[in-house]
Amino acid sequence: MLSTCVRHGDTLPSRMPAKREKRKVDQNKTTRMARIDFDTLLDAGVHFGHLRRKWNPNMAPYIFAEKKGIHIIDLNKTAAKLEEASNAMRQVARSGKKVLFVATKKQAKDIVSEKVKVTGMPYVTERWSGGMLTNFGTIRRAVKKMSNIDRMKTDGTFDNMSKRERLQVSRQREKLEKNLGSIADLTRLPSALFIVDIVKEHIALAEARKLGIPTFAMVDTNSDPSLVDFPIPANDDATKSIELVVDAMIAALNEGMEERKQDKDRGTATADEDEEESSEEGEAAAKPARKPRKSVVVAAGAEEGAEAHVEAEEPKAEGEAAPEA
């Protein structure tokens, strides 16, 4: 038996490494996908969906089963979609672009505002003003109005107003700060949107789709995932579930910004090295020819200066003769 294996073992070595390599690739895939493991998603309650009568048929591929009239989300597909969305979010942050977070529901607004504020990204947690994207110029004017009120308080204009006018302006400033304060630094349209509950934030989703802005969103069993570019099937009503997904997105943003910083440092370092090398080579090549070039330039400059001086004197003489005439 051993001799037969040795005699006819020509194809055996070529097959064995292939199987080992395939197994290694599969292990790498599982480790890459399992950044947030199954048990963590289960403990956070990500798998709980809505009642069966409220479901959206387009969510059928992401539903695992039905239990006591409630749909259960397939957490394996949630983990895969979460990893895909994280990779895309990392690329957006690496390119130095802005991501607008939208979460106005009560369970999500505190979580989003607390976690996103640290990253410096814009967010909307109070109320989505209609036209915030499609009518962005008007929104920017409202933000400028808020800054003008702040300037009035510093330059003394505020003190010259009556008490009633000051009260009205202060109330207007508070209202603008509440609705638009978190996007005051957003000087242009965002490059992506992250939405919690696309059913509630359907206006924001419609505006982003109209302008062609990529969207990331938590989609529950009552939502349509086909409307979102990067859907994450998850429970969008539980605070633990929302916090887990938002943490994953924030981690991807931080990784992307860190990679961008490293790329910038690496790029400036290589540029400096190239400039130093080219300057050294240029100096070595220009040393023998430096003196003659200077003399030629000086001589040419002297001749041009003399000609310019002569030409400048002629109009002066004409100008002096004109008043005498």
Per residue in 44-90, pLDDT (tens digit) is 989 999 998 999 999 999 999 999 889 999 999 999 999 999 999 99
Predicted pLDDT at 176: 87
Predicted pLDDT at 240: 93
Residues of the chain with CATH 1.10.287: 134-187
Rounded Cα distance between 126 and 281, Å, is 61
Rounded Cα distance between 64 and 68, Å, is 14
Tokens coding 5: 């294996």
Express as a percent the part of the chain with pLDDT over 70: 71
Predicted pLDDT at 185: 85
Predicted pLDDT at 160: 86
pTM over 0.85: no
Tokens coding 220: 């529950």
Domain 134-187 classified CATH 3.30.2310?
A: no
Q: Where are the alpha helices (DSSP H) in 212-289?
A: 239-286
Predicted pLDDT at 210: 95
Beta carbons of 87 and 248 less than 8 angstroms apart: no
Rounded Cα distance between 120 and 109, Å, is 16
- Compute the Cα dihedral for 90, 92, 98, 100 and give only its sign: negative
Predicted pLDDT at 268: 52
Predicted pLDDT at 182: 85
Beta carbons of 123 and 196 less than 8 angstroms apart: no
Angle at which helix 75-94 crosses helix 239-286, to 10 degrees, equals 30
Predicted pLDDT at 35: 65
Q: How many residues does the chain have?
A: 325
How does DSSP assign 40-98, residue by residue? HHHHTTTTEEEEGGG--GGGGGGEEEEETTEEEE-HHHHHHHHHHHHHHHHHHHHTT--
Residue whose entry in the numeric block shows the structure tokens 């998603």: 41
Q: Is 109 exposed, middle or buried (0-12, 13-18, 19+ CB in 10 A)?
A: middle
Residues of the chain with CATH 3.40.50.10490: 29-130+189-265
Domain 29-130+189-265 classified CATH 3.40.1390.10?
A: no
Which residues of the chain, if any, have pLDDT below 50?
1-34, 269-325
Predicted pLDDT at 152: 87
- CB-side neighbour CA atoms (13 Å) of 85: 32
123: part of which helix (H) or strand (E)?
strand 123-124
